[in-house]
C-alpha cells in the first residue's frame, strides 16, 4: 500500500501521551517506555489534502505482556498451518490464561469465551471515555484484550456516534459508534480461525458464546455509565436516562 512503515515525531508524542492516559484511566493498554527521535526525514500528508511536508521521524518503544493478536491466529488458519496454530494457542494459554487447565479438552473453548467477554469489556471502557481507536482490524485486536497499536485514534469532545478520528477512513467503518460491531466481526474471525481445532459440539457452543457478546457489552457499558452518573441499584429507567443524556450531548 506504498507505506514506508515510519512514524513521525508528532504522532509518536500523541501515542506516548495517550497510552499513559489510558493506563491511568484504568483501561487495559500497552505502555510507552521511551521515545527516540530519528534524524531521518519522513514525508507526510498530514490532512490528506495533497500538502506533503517533511517531518522528523521517531520511534516509540512500547511494552505489553503479549503482542499476539487475533490476526496472529487468523493467518495460520488461513494458511492451513494447523499444527503451528495449535502450538501457538497452547503457548498463549499457558503463558497468559492461567485459569485454563492445559489438560482440559475444552481449553480452546474456554480461551474463546474469555476473549469474547474481555473484548466486550475493553470496548465498553473505550466508549465510557469517548475513545475511538481508528483502525479496529483483526491485526489491531489483542488476544489479551488490551489497547494496542495506537495510530489515528481520537477522543470525542462531545457525543457523536459518527465520530471518525482516521481521516483516511472514508467509509466510516471504524467510527466510534461502530466499534462494538467491529469487535463482534473480529471475534467472528477468531472463531473461524479456531474452528479447525474444535469438534462439532464445541463449534456449536462457541457460536452460542459469540452470540452472547452483545449482552456482555451492553451490561458492561450500562454499568460504566451508571457509575459515571452515580446511579445506585437497578431501575428500568436507567438505560433510558443514559440514552437521553447522550442524545442531549449530541444535540449540543
**Residues facing 58 on adjacent strands:** 7, 37
| Burial (CB count <10 Å: 0-12, 13-18, 19+), residue 67 | middle
Q: Look-up: residue for cell 530519528?
A: 38
CA atoms 45, 180, 140, 132: torsion sign: positive
At residue 196, φ and ψ (nearest 5 deg) are: -60, -15
Catalytic residue among 4, 40, 139, 199: 139
- Whether the CB-CB separation of 132 and 169 falls below 8 Å is answered with no
User: Of 32, 49, 38, 51, which Cα lies nearest the Cα of 4?
Assistant: 38
Rounded distance, CA 194 to CA 74, Å?
A: 8
Specify the 3-state DSSP secondary structure of 58. strand
Q: Is 139 a catalytic residue?
A: yes
- Known catalytic residues are 139
Amino acid at each position: 500500500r506504498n507505506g514506508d512503515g515510519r512514524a513521525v515525531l508528532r504522532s509518536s508524542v500523541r501515542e506516548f501521551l495517550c497510552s499513559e492516559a489510558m493506563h491511568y484511566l484504568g483501561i487495559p493498554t500497552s505502555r510507552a517506555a521511551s521515545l527516540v527521535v530519528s534524524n531521518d526525514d519522513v514525508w507526510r500528508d498530514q490532512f490528506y489534502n495533497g500538502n506533503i511536508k517533511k517531518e522528523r521521524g521517531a520511534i516509540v518503544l512500547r511494552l505489553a505482556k503479549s503482542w499476539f493478536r487475533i490476526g496472529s491466529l487468523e493467518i495460520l488458519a488461513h494458511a492451513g498451518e494447523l499444527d503451528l496454530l495449535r502450538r501457538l494457542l497452547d503457548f498463549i494459554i499457558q503463558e497468559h490464561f492461567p485459569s485454563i487447565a492445559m489438560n482440559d479438552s475444552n481449553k480452546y473453548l474456554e480461551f474463546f469465551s474469555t476473549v469474547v467477554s474481555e473484548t466486550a469489556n475493553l470496548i465498553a471502557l473505550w466508549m465510557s471515555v469517548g475513545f475511538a481507536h481508528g483502525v479496529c482490524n483483526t491485526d489491531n485486536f489483542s488476544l489479551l484484550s488490551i489497547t494496542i497499536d495506537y495510530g489515528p485514534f481520537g477522543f470525542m469532545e462531545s457525543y457523536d456516534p459518527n465520530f471518525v478520528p482516521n481521516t483516511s477512513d472514508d467509509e466510516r467503518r471504524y467510527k466510534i459508534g461502530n466499534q462494538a460491531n467491529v469487535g463482534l466481526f473480529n471475534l467472528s474471525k477468531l472463531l473461524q480461525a479456531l474452528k479447525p481445532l474444535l469438534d462439532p459440539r464445541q463449534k456449536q457452543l462457541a457460536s452460542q458464546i459469540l452470540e452472547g457478546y452483545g449482552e456482555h457489552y451492553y451490561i458492561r457499558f450500562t454499568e460504566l455509565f451508571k457509575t459515571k452518573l452515580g446511579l445506585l441499584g437497578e431501575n428500568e429507567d436507567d438505560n433510558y436516562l443514559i440514552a437521553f443524556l447522550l442524545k442531549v450531548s449530541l444535540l449540543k
